[in-house]
Structure 1
Amino acid sequence: MKSNAELQKDVQDAIKWEPMLNAAEIGVTVKDGVVTLTGVVDTYIKKTEAEDAAKNVAGVKAVVEKIEVKHNTQLGKKDDNEIAAEILNAFRWNWQIPNDKVRVKVEKGWVTLEGNLDWGYQRDAAKNAVKNLLGVVGVINDIKIKPTSEEVIEKAAIESALKRNWSIYDNDITVKVSGHKATLTGTVDSWYQKQEAGRIAYNAPGVWSVDNELTVDYDYALMDS
């Protein structure tokens, strides 16, 4: 059982542990498992690293992310056309992203990705290729998973994959399938486990979308200590 103060310290320590992050730039507040991150960083990748660090802490139920990205002007300001060109070049060098399948729009540093891909890992690879680039303020990933083959979702295959994963194998997760959608219900111990379960389901053949209804259930002390 953790108090708000204990969970806050755990999140702060997790952020300090990331070599890319400066803990002094990021504020952390906690209430009943909901973590709010505030502050200003100079790259989008730092913003996502801080969010991921917080989500991976045991006891975190949700993360409210209010970190702003303000780029260091000494590194040179990039316009939207330059950012778009760098994104397309990054896609060309990434074997996980099919050529000419992802459309890119950039507006004031905000990147929107659109298109249809066969696999969830390709969708994730597209976002990961973008978030490392200088000049990017945020990413909206609107890529849809629509495989060219009409494979039927195998419920048992998703259940087996969840049981194989060391971090979530002993949790109470129920899988339901309807058409090309998989729905996950039940309880897990952390936000990380919820995300990991969703990622595993997304990678199953035939899955176009995942409705992740897993609840993060963790005991908290009634008073800070």
Structure 2
Amino acid sequence: MCHRNRSDSMKSDMQLKKDVEQELEWDPSIKAAGVGVEVHDRIVTLAGHLGSFAEKLAARRAAQRVEGVKGVVVELDVRVPNQDQRSDEEIAAVVRSVLEWTAGLSEKSVKVTVEKGVVTLSGEVDWGYQMKVAEDAVVRLRGVVAVVNQIDVRGSAGAADIVGKISAALTRHAQDESRHIDVSVDDGTVTLRGKVGSFPERSIVCNAAWSAPGVRNVVDRLSIGA
């Protein structure tokens, strides 16, 4: 998705507010009329209500896409429309089916509990990317108000081994970008720092980190620029 590029130093809070509002309106997955935008010291606050948890996440990503934004605070409520409301039992059944069909995760590996539309995932998986795939599949379901991901990753790997495998993957898929990226690991949490040229390149880097064995979480601190 294209977005507006301006130099950070040229943007006031007022300009950032306008740019974020335009980005929200430009994204077809978001009903921008339900979102209020405030900006202070380049920190964007989104308030209001939206019709789904997926839409709430999309609004956060839209604000993060705008160049010059230093941080995003999300104070959005999810109010599920009547036609999309589901009982907790219905949601749990659909989540169970989705996890098995899209991620190959059985009830033995991932447990599902639902309370007032809030889905909690728990259990253990072999790979960090499975934990991420499970969450991504559930957030899009109708009737879901929020997702709490408590899935753990089995086993462990040394920091040097994780960094080595991520660096090798980056060299294969994004060789130019790999020279500008710093990878650090602390107890299975990978932190990415540096600069990439575009959002697709950013996705390549993050996906490479998630695919490394022993990774439990990925913190994306990458910036986008020439």
Structure 2 length-normalised TM: 0.77
8 A contact 2:157–2:188 mirrored in 1: no
8 A contact 1:58–1:189 mirrored in 2: no
Q: Does 1:181 align with 2:188?
A: yes
Match of 1:122 among 110, 122, 130: 130
Q: Does 1:43 align with 2:52?
A: yes
The 5-angstrom pairing of residues 96-175 of structure 1 reads 96-100=103-107, 101-147=109-155, 152=158, 153-162=161-170, 164-165=173-174, 169=178, 171=180, 173-175=181-183
User: What is the DSSP-based 3-state SS (H/G/I as helix, E as strand, rest coil) of the residue aligned with 1:176?
Assistant: strand
Q: Does 1:20 align with 2:29?
A: yes
* Counterpart amino acid of residue 34 in structure 1: I
The 5-angstrom pairing of residues 24-35 of structure 1 reads 24-35=33-44
Distance 1:168 1:97, change over 3 A: farther
Greater length-normalized contact order (CA 8 Å, ≥ 6 residues apart): 1
C-alpha distance in structure 2 between counterparts of 1:21 and 1:141, whole Å = 23
Q: CA deviation at 1:52?
A: 1.4
- Can you give the 5+ residue segments of structure 2 that lack an aligned partner in the other structure? 1-7
C-alpha distance in structure 1 between counterparts of 2:188 and 2:151, whole Å = 16
User: What is the DSSP-based 3-state SS (H/G/I as helix, E as strand, rest coil) of the residue aligned with 2:183?
Assistant: strand
C-alpha distance in structure 2 between counterparts of 1:183 and 1:40, whole Å = 32
Q: CA deviation at 1:87?
A: 0.8
Q: CA deviation at 1:34?
A: 1.3
Q: CA deviation at 1:56?
A: 2.0
Distance 1:154 1:106, change over 3 A: closer
8 A contact 1:145–1:209 mirrored in 2: no
Q: Does 1:77 align with 2:69?
A: no
Q: Share of identical aligned residues, percent?
A: 34
Structure 1 length-normalised TM: 0.77
Q: CA deviation at 1:138?
A: 0.7
8 A contact 2:91–2:114 mirrored in 1: yes
C-alpha distance in structure 2 between counterparts of 1:213 and 1:46, whole Å = 21
User: What is the DSSP-based 3-state SS (H/G/I as helix, E as strand, rest coil) of the residue aligned with 1:93?
Assistant: helix
Distance 1:24 1:126, change over 3 A: same
Aligned to 1:223: none
Aligned to 1:3: 12
8 A contact 1:113–1:141 mirrored in 2: yes
